[in-house]
């Protein structure tokens, strides 16, 4: 079976696209050279001392690499979900870690820290998306039991945008990360063969015209894995194959 490195979710509101254009277009699209694959999602963070423990200790990710640019006053942290039981012995910031980052089959979460924000009393934080007409929505993790995971995160002191039994969509949750970004907690499919308690699964972006957006991402080597259509919005899930 083809292995996909991860999924991207594109969401379109019915009012943003012409009637009938929500369905995926099967017209062939030429893929750009170089076997492109989705490599990372970047979030800006205020304080790595708070964000790194959240993603490592609570969401089970591994810090695989780090770049420091003191001359420009920012640092980059790269995390990923490694297969359960796989040990990572490389030192973040080393050349070996750099080589791993840019050649791995998985997808990374990049956290960008602009130095000084963690101690700036006047810094109110970054815009986390999800306001009217915002494009960025959230990242997501897959789990076997949304209710058990949500309870665990709540006991760890996390706050929620939505708990599993709240709202009209039952059985999924949104937890806030330390900067207020939404992290969706989604139940895995019964066919999934993933031993991790949690794994980084997707990034959600809102799009205006799915026909144009799907063609763009297809040109970057992605495939439409699934689509769902509702009365007022549609969802398109895309992934990059790691098979040459």
**CB–CB of 241/221 below 8 Å?**
yes
**CB–CB of 79/62 below 8 Å?**
yes
| Contacts of 51 by beta carbon, 8 Å cutoff, 6+ apart | 45, 77, 111, 113, 177, 178, 179
Dihedral sign computed on CA atoms, order 116, 121, 127, 130: positive
Secondary structure of residue 11 in the 3-state scheme: strand
Residue 136: how many other CB atoms lie within 10 Å: 17
DSSP state string for 71-82: TTTEEEEEEE-P
Q: Choose among 146, 136, 150, 149: nearest CA to 179.
A: 136
Dihedral sign computed on CA atoms, order 68, 117, 206, 6: positive
> Is 197 one of the catalytic residues?
no
Candidates 151, 184, 190, 197; catalytic one: 184
Identify any residues that bridge with 223 across adjacent strands, giving them in sequence order.
239
Q: How far is CA 25 from CA 15, 22, 28, 29, 130, in A?
A: 19, 9, 9, 10, 27
Secondary structure of residue 20 in the 3-state scheme: coil
CA 108 to CA 41: how far, in whole Å? 7
- The catalytic residue positions are 184
């Amino acid at each position: 079976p083809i292995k996909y490195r991860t999924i991207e979710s594109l969401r379109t509101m019915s009012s943003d696209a012409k009637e009938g254009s929500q369905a995926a277009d099967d017209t062939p699209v030429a893929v750009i050279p170089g076997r492109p694959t989705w490599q990372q999602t970047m979030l800006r963070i205020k304080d790595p001392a708070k964000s790194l423990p959240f993603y490592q200790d609570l969401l089970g990710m591994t810090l695989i690499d780090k770049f420091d640019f003191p001359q420009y006053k920012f640092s980059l942290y790269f995390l990923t979900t490694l297969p359960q039981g796989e040990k990572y012995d490389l030192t973040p910031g080393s050349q070996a870690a750099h080589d791993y980052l840019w050649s791995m089959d998985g997808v990374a979460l990049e956290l960008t820290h602009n130095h000084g924000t963690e101690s700036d009393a006047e810094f109110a934080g970054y815009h986390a998306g999800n306001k009217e007409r915002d494009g960025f929505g959230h990242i997501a993790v897959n789990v076997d039991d949304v209710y058990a995971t949500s309870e665990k995160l709540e006991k760890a002191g996390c706050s929620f945008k939505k708990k599993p039994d709240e709202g009209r969509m039952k059985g999924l949750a949104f937890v806030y990360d330390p900067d207020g970004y939404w992290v969706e907690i989604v139940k895995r499919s019964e066919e999934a063969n993933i031993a991790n308690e949690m794994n980084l699964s997707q990034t959600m972006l809102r799009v205006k015209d799915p026909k144009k957006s799907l063609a763009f991402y297809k040109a970057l080597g992605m495939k439409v894995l699934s689509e769902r259509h509702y009365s007022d919005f549609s969802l398109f899930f895309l992934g990059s194959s790691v098979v040459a």
